[in-house]
Amino acid sequence: MITNFKTIFLLSLAFISVIALQPSYCVYNGEKPLQCASYQSLNQTNGTSLPKYTVNLDLSYEDRWRVIITNYKNALQGFESRIEQLPKAVALESQLPFYQDTNFLAELQAIASFAGVKFQTIQLISQMYESLDSIACTSIVARNSDGSIYHARNLDYDFVKYISPLLANIEFQRGGKTVFIADMIIGTAIVVTGIVPNGYSITINQRQDDGQAISYLKKQYIPACYLIYKILQTSTTYDDALNSLMNTKIAMPAYFIIAGLSGNQGTVLERDRESVHLQTTLSDSTWFICQTNYDRSQPDNPDDYRRIPCEQKMGKFNQNSWKPQDIFNILQQTPNFVITTITTDIMNPKTGYINSTRWYNPPYSTEQSTYQQILSISIIILMVFLN
Ligand SMILES: *[C@@H]1O[C@H](CO)[C@@H](O)[C@H](O)[C@H]1NC(C)=O
Ligand SMILES: *[C@@H]1O[C@H](CO)[C@@H](O)[C@H](O)[C@H]1NC(C)=O
Ligand SMILES: *[C@@H]1O[C@H](CO)[C@@H](O)[C@H](O)[C@H]1NC(C)=O
């Protein structure tokens, strides 16, 4: 009797741990999984659009940010307390400032004073691509049947719970006219998703982190996401923006994705710090490009299989009749929707359209999935010992 209970108990535990450890998304050949994603991914529907604000670039840094930052004080202070728990961040704070551009630091100083958050924290947040955990992401550029280019992205990042409340669509104006719109993390002077209406749109995806970024920031190579913020403020055309994205020295390798107004104006740049490693551009025969977090010269990473599934799904659409909602669907489904996906954006530079969705992830954080993994590993160890 006791043995039976023990057997049933162990079998149930084994079953639970197999479920818990199962990769979230696989591509099958018959019964045999060919490739599986180890990222926990899911289909998600619980999202809402972002709040919208206007920022006047004609004003001083203090005057342009005062109201917005003051209203987001609590969320920024929450993010600060989370960052303070990271030994890596605390160790880095004493080495600041890294990138010392006068405008960069002046804008961050203004933000820090209204947020009631340490200047060091605000600097780290705006250099998080280089100094904290990396962003993952999917970006897609695709030519529509009307000839215009759509540009879509998922932003995936570890601090979902803290960044999500800080997201907003901010329209930056000069002389009362729109200069650009960004899906921005309030409290930063960086952009990972932005659009210049009737110009172009830019997104960044994370490329391999070699651990050297801080030393390059100190050599005054620009933070990649600050470069985007600057380009959006100064470049009005696709060619001009592309030129800066190709030729500016950046502190950490990155994928820059840029879309323009029509034709073949859609490019993925695999950037090294000082040069372009590879450029992939739309052509008469290539109407879309999917980019995740790996070089295209390599096979899609079998442990993080997202680019090929994206390409397969896009490839099923008719290039003369697909709808923006089709791309949105890919991004809100497994495997491109991962549990750290914070926001999905769909943009069209020709019309200036930007649709940003903030997600409320059910598992909510990677902390929970790590916990699940530890649980299932403990169960397996327990089983070995009990046997
Ligand atoms: C996610 O949605 C896709 C498309 O509707 C569907 O094929 C798939 O089975 C769904 N997966 C899960 C885990 O619900
Ligand atoms: C735009 O965003 C809304 C809400 O966030 C979403 O329901 C809708 O599907 C999105 N549409 C497109 C075309 O991306
Ligand atoms: C959507 O997310 C919000 C915020 O986490 C939560 O309050 C709400 O219950 C969720 N709705 C559904 C249908 O899951």
Residues 344 and 357: beta-carbon distance below 8 Å: yes
Evaluate: CB of 343 within 6 angstroms of ligand 2.
no
Domain assignment present for 368? no
**Residue with CA at minimum distance from ligand 2 atom 1:** 355
What pLDDT, on the 0 to 100 scale, is given for residue 39? Answer: 61
Evaluate: CB of 357 within 6 angstroms of ligand 2.
yes
Pairing of strands 341-348, 149-156: antiparallel
Q: Are residues 239 and 170 in the same domain?
A: yes
DSSP-derived secondary structure letter, 145: T
Evaluate: CB of 378 within 6 angstroms of ligand 2.
no
Q: How much distance in Å is there from the Cα of 279 to the middle of ligand 2?
A: 30
Domain assignment present for 244? yes
Q: Are residues 337 and 354 in the same domain?
A: yes
Q: Are residues 333 and 378 in the same domain?
A: no
Q: How much distance in Å is there from the Cα of 27 to the middle of ligand 1?
A: 13
Q: Are residues 33 and 72 in the same domain?
A: no
Domain assignment present for 302? yes
Domain boundary among 73, 94, 128: 128
**Residue with CA at minimum distance from ligand 3 atom 4:** 360
Q: Are residues 209 and 342 in the same domain?
A: yes
CATH number at residue 197: 3.60.60.10
Evaluate: CB of 326 within 6 angstroms of ligand 2.
no
Query: What is the full DSSP assignment across 218-246?
Result: HTTPBPHHHHHHHHHHH--SHHHHHHHHH
Domain boundary among 104, 128, 152: 128
What pLDDT, on the 0 to 100 scale, is given for residue 145? Answer: 95
What pLDDT, on the 0 to 100 scale, is given for residue 365? Answer: 43
The H or E element that residue 180 is part of is strand 177-185
What pLDDT, on the 0 to 100 scale, is given for residue 64? Answer: 98
Q: Are residues 300 and 286 in the same domain?
A: yes
Q: Are residues 210 and 354 in the same domain?
A: yes
Q: Which two tokens stand for residue 268?
A: 């993925």
Domain assignment present for 145? yes
What 3-state DSSP class applies to 41? strand
What pLDDT, on the 0 to 100 scale, is given for residue 42? Answer: 80
Q: Are residues 119 and 158 in the same domain?
A: no
DSSP-derived secondary structure letter, 257: E
Q: Are residues 107 and 193 in the same domain?
A: no
Q: How much distance in Å is there from the Cα of 166 to the middle of ligand 1?
A: 29
Per-residue confidence in pLDDT tens, the chain, 387 aa: 556 777 777 667 666 655 555 545 555 544 455 555 556 778 888 899 999 999 999 999 999 999 999 999 999 999 999 999 999 999 999 999 999 999 999 999 999 999 999 999 999 999 999 998 766 799 999 999 999 999 999 999 888 888 989 999 999 999 999 999 999 999 999 999 999 999 999 999 999 888 899 999 999 999 999 999 999 999 999 999 999 999 999 999 999 999 999 999 999 999 999 999 999 999 999 999 999 999 998 888 877 889 999 999 999 999 999 999 999 999 999 889 988 899 999 999 999 999 999 987 654 444 445 555 666 667 666 666 666
What 3-state DSSP class applies to 8? helix
Q: How many Cα atoms within 13 Å fall on the side-chain side of residue 140?
A: 31
Q: Are residues 142 and 95 in the same domain?
A: no
- CA 21, distance to chain mean position in Å, is 25
Q: Are residues 244 and 327 in the same domain?
A: yes
Q: Which domain holds residue 79?
A: 58-128
Domain assignment present for 293? yes
Beta bridge partners of 174: 177
352 burial (CB, 10 Å; 0-12 / 13-18 / 19+) is middle
Evaluate: CB of 97 within 6 angstroms of ligand 2.
no
**How far is residue 378's CA from residue 371's CA, in Å, rounded to a whole number?**
10
What pLDDT, on the 0 to 100 scale, is given for residue 386? Answer: 67
**How far is residue 189's CA from residue 232's CA, in Å, rounded to a whole number?**
12
Q: Are residues 162 and 236 in the same domain?
A: yes
Domain boundary among 109, 128, 147: 128
Number of domains the chain contains: 3
Q: Which residues approach ligand 3 with their CB closer than 6 A? A: 46, 360
Q: Which two tokens stand for residue 247?
A: 């030729």
Which tens digit of pLDDT belongs to each residue from 327-386? 999 999 988 998 889 999 999 999 999 999 998 765 444 444 555 566 666 766 666 666
Amino acid at 13: L
